[in-house]
Amino acid sequence: MSHLVNYSYCPVCKSESLKEVLSVQDFTVSKERFIIAECNNCSFRFTQGIPCETAIGRYYKSDSYISHTNTKAGLVNRLYHVARYFTMMIKESLVKNATKKGVGMMLDIGCGTGTFVHTMSVAGWNVVGLEPDADARALAVKKYNCDVYPAEDFYRLPESSYDAITMWHVLEHVHSLDDYLVQLKKLLAPKGKLIIAVPNYTSLDAGIYKENWAAYDVPRHLYHFSPASMRKLMERHDLRVVSIKPMWLDSYYISMLSEKYKKGNMVIALWNGFLSNLRAFFNKEKCSSVVYIIEKVS
C-alpha cells in the first residue's frame, strides 16, 4: 500500500531546521493540496507528504485533463510545441558548448518520445535515452528507431562512458536523490558534463504567482531548487556547478499555465513572463528555469 513521505530533515544538506512556506494545490490531476517546506540552512524547498515511488503513478495520469482541453489549454499546448522546436536547437548547441565536443556519447534521462535523442543522433552523437513510460518508449522507437530503455536500466548502464548526461526537467521527479547522484557521477566520462534543467523558485514569476506558480507542480515535483541549494547538493557529491544558463521560454509557458490555474489573464501572463526575463537578463540565476552545467571535482 502507499505511504506518504514526510521529511524531518532537508534532503540536500540534512539540516533539521525547516519551515513551511506554501500550501499548493495539484491543479492538473488530483486537486489535492500539499505543503512545501524550505530548509533554513541551504534554501532547498521540497514537497511534504509525497506519495512513495510505487504510489505516485496515479498522479501522472492526466488523460482527462488532456482530452477535455479548453481553448486556453489548447493555445498553451500549441505554443508549447512551437517552442519545443526552437528548444531542440538550443539544447543541441548547449550540449556541444558544454562538452566542447562536436560528437560524443550522450545519455538523455526522461527522454519522453525521443525528440532530443533523435536531434542529437542526427547531429552524429551516439545517444541512449531512458524513459519510465512504456507508451512513450514505444512511440520513440516507432518514430525515430532510437535506443530508448526503461528507467530501471539507469543502474545497469556502462560506467565512465558519457560525455554528456542530460536531464531536462527530470531531477525534480526523482525519489532517491542521493543514490541517483552517486550513479550519475559513476556514468560520467572523466571530463563528462551533467546538464540539469530545473525550475527556479527564486525567479520573479515564482514570486508573483506564489502558490499558483505552475512549476511547483505538486506532488510530481518533489523538489524545488534554488541555485544555492543546487550548488550545495552537487558539492555533497563531489560535483560542481561550472555554469548556469537561462531558459528564456519557460517564464512565458509557466506564467501562462499559472494564470490559467488562477483563472487569470493571458496578457498579464505574457507581461509577467517578460518581467521575469528582464530580471533574469541582469541576473541569470533569477530565470524561471535554469540549466546547470556540472562536472566532477576531481
Q: How far is the CB of 229 from Zn ion (least distance, A)?
A: 6
- Among residues 39 and 280, whose Cβ is nearest to Zn ion? 39
Q: How far is the CB of 13 from Zn ion (least distance, A)?
A: 3
Cell digits of residue 59: 498522479
Show the beta-strand stretches assigned E in 140-288: 148-149, 162-168, 188-199, 223-224, 239-246
For residues 22-41, which are near Zn ion according to CB under 5 A? 39, 41
- Among residues 13 and 141, whose Cβ is nearest to Zn ion? 13
Q: How far is the CB of 238 from Zn ion (least distance, A)?
A: 18
Q: Is 234 left (phi over 0), alpha (psi -120 to 50) or beta?
A: alpha
- Among residues 44 and 162, whose Cβ is nearest to Zn ion? 44
- Among residues 46 and 168, whose Cβ is nearest to Zn ion? 46
Could you please report the per-residue DSSP string of 42-63? Answer: T--EEESSEEPTTTGGGGG--H
Q: How far is the CB of 146 from Zn ion (least distance, A)?
A: 38
Of the candidate residues 24, 37, 42, 198, the single one contacting Zn ion (CB under 5 A)? 42
Q: Count residues near Zn ion (CB under 5 A).
A: 8
Strand (E) or helix (H) holding 72: helix 71-99
Q: How far is the CB of 221 from Zn ion (least distance, A)?
A: 17
Q: How far is the CB of 10 from Zn ion (least distance, A)?
A: 3
> How many residues belong to the chain?
298
| Chain CA centroid to CA 195, Å | 11
Phi then psi for residue 17, to 5 deg, are: -90, 95
- The sheet carrying 18-25 orders its strands as 18-25, 33-39, 45-47, 223-224
- Among residues 39 and 187, whose Cβ is nearest to Zn ion? 39
Of the candidate residues 5, 10, 36, 188, the single one contacting Zn ion (CB under 5 A)? 10
3-state secondary structure at position 271: helix
For residues 44-103, which are near Zn ion according to CB under 5 A? 44
Binding site for Zn ion (CB under 5 A): 10, 12-13, 15, 39, 41-42, 44
